[in-house]
Amino acid sequence: MMKPLKKSVSITLDEDVIEKVKLLAEEHDRSFSQYINLILKKHLKEENEEDYLNMHDRMDF
């Protein structure tokens, strides 16, 4: 199985967010970038599930 392609991006974050993510990444033995990627993937998955549930709530059965 191939690893997903990665692309470098530049973002601006609040200092307190950076410090907290650095601590969490270290606790989970991940790099800062890896941990940010995990957080974003989890959030996107949750958003997608929420959209799916909301779509079914609006349907007439």
Residue pLDDT, tens place only, 34-45: 999 999 999 999
Tell me the C-alpha distance between 56 and 53, whole Å. 5
pTM of the full predicted structure? 0.73
Selection from 1, 3, 36 nearest residue 21 by Cα? 36
Cα–Cα dist 30/23, whole Å: 10
Close Cβ partners of 56 (under 8 Å, ≥ 6 residues apart) = none
Q: What is the pLDDT of residue 56?
A: 66
Q: What is the pLDDT of residue 12?
A: 98
CB 22 within 8 A of CB 11: no
pLDDT of residue 53: 74
Residue 31: its pLDDT value, please?
97
Confidence of residue 13 (pLDDT cuts 50, 70, 90): very high
Average pLDDT, the chain: 89
